[in-house]
Amino acid sequence: MNYIGSKLKLCQGFLPITIKSVCGEDLSEKVFCDIFAGTGIVGRTFKTSVKKVISNDVEYYSYVLNKNYIENHREIKDKKERIEELNFLPLTNNGFIYKNYCLGGNGERQYFSDENGKRIDSIRMKIEEWKNTNQISDNMYYFLLCSLLECADKVANTASVYGAYLKKLKKSAQKELVLEPAEYELNDNEHQVYNIDANELIKKIDGDILYLDPPYNARQYGANYHLLNTIAEYKPFEPHGKTGLRKYIRSKYCSANSVKTEFENLIRNAQFKYIFLSYNNEGLMSVEDVKTIMSKYGRYGLVQTDYQRFKADSNRFNKADSTVEYLHILEKS
């Protein structure tokens, strides 16, 4: 998923290398917490090398992704058969997505092609029916929902986030949605996934390595990914305005007024030996702000790397699009 602030690229080197250089190569006895998990890629990177991953995000779609990618760790029987059945369902034109987010349904919004909107509804309804009639386990439920979110996102008719739709159906949105399995890593250990505010969760957990990747600017994830929450929750509501927005959570990390207090409370309450914070040079808190706060709570260090800026249209890359990504490190005393 092309996600604002995704650490996919950093996970291919910089992040695991730096974390291991600080905490040691062998992490097999460590509890690792990814408390602003988003797509879950950071937790996924450490899932098979640590004792336990604790994953959390305040957004429900992220919870669904992580319930699959992080919490699912054993083989689930009949995955292939269920996916196949969902791919061959008859299409309904009586579902919430088609009615509210497709041209044929409401005559205006066009987040999906008519056919894909109907397909999303048919699949989503069937998954819920299977769950309500106890035909599938929770593990299977989140595996199927996660697969649907990933595949729906691929055919969304947006520039990349759901703040607006495109007038014309773009090429990728014209493709037929085909449900593909959202594969997760198998391993022997149990992991935990939460869906609450990080500042609440931090009071209830402890561990060894805490990775922090909060939003760093005013862009609220709940607004930018509202349609993923709508598909994931699938409960009717009155869509608002031209974009069909739903009520969404406003994170205190997205406001200059509250971010520093919120961040300091998080650090103060954290019962973890090592804390790593990803933040970039254009964030609401300056490097100095972060350093001042973290230094109060133990031994502080900073490493940095150049990073490609998030872009709506990934074909438009040039040098000016790169930004500095900081990794602040705290060994708590």
Ligand X SMILES: C[S@@+](CC[C@H](N)C(=O)[O-])C[C@H]1O[C@@H](n2cnc3c(N)ncnc32)[C@H](O)[C@@H]1O
Site of interaction with ligand X (CB under 6 A):
3, 5-7, 36-39, 41-42, 57-59, 62, 197-198, 213-215, 221, 251, 253
Q: How far is the CB of 253 from ligand X (least distance, A)?
A: 5
Which residues share a beta bridge with 274?
209, 331
Q: Quick one: 243 or 255, whose CB is closer to ligand X?
A: 255
- Give the residue from 78, 68, 22 showing the smallest Cα distance to 277: 22
Give the Cα separation of 147 and 144 in Å (integer).
Answer: 5
Nearest to ligand X of 59, 150 (CB atom)? 59
CB-count exposure of residue 159 (10 Å: 0-12, 13-18, 19+): middle
- Minimum distance from residue 202 beta carbon to ligand X (Å): 9
Distances from the Cα of 300 to the Cα of 3, 76, 266, 293, angstroms: 29, 43, 16, 10
Which residues does 10 contact at the CB level (< 8 Å), separation at least 6? 278, 305, 307, 325
From the CB of 213, what's the least distance to ligand X, in Å?
Answer: 4
Q: Which is nearer to ligand X, 3 or 130 (CB)?
A: 3
The secondary element (H helix, E strand) that includes residue 251 is none
Q: Closest distance between ligand X and the C-beta of residue 254, in Å? A: 7
Nearer to ligand X, 105 or 215 (CB): 215
- Structure-block tokens of residue 42: 């950071």
Distance in Å, CB of 5 to ligand X, minimum: 3
Tokens 């940095």: give the residue. Answer: 304
Helix (H) or strand (E) holding 327: strand 322-332
Which residue lies nearer to ligand X by CB, 95 or 214? 214
307 touches 279 (CB < 8 A)? no
Comparing CA positions, the residue from 139, 140, 100 lying closest to residue 235 is 100
Question: Could you give the CA distance from residue 52 to residue 66 in angstroms, rounded to a whole number?
Answer: 14
- In whole angstroms, how close is the CB of 49 to ligand X at the nearest point? 17
By beta-carbon proximity to ligand X, the closer residue of 197 and 208 is 197
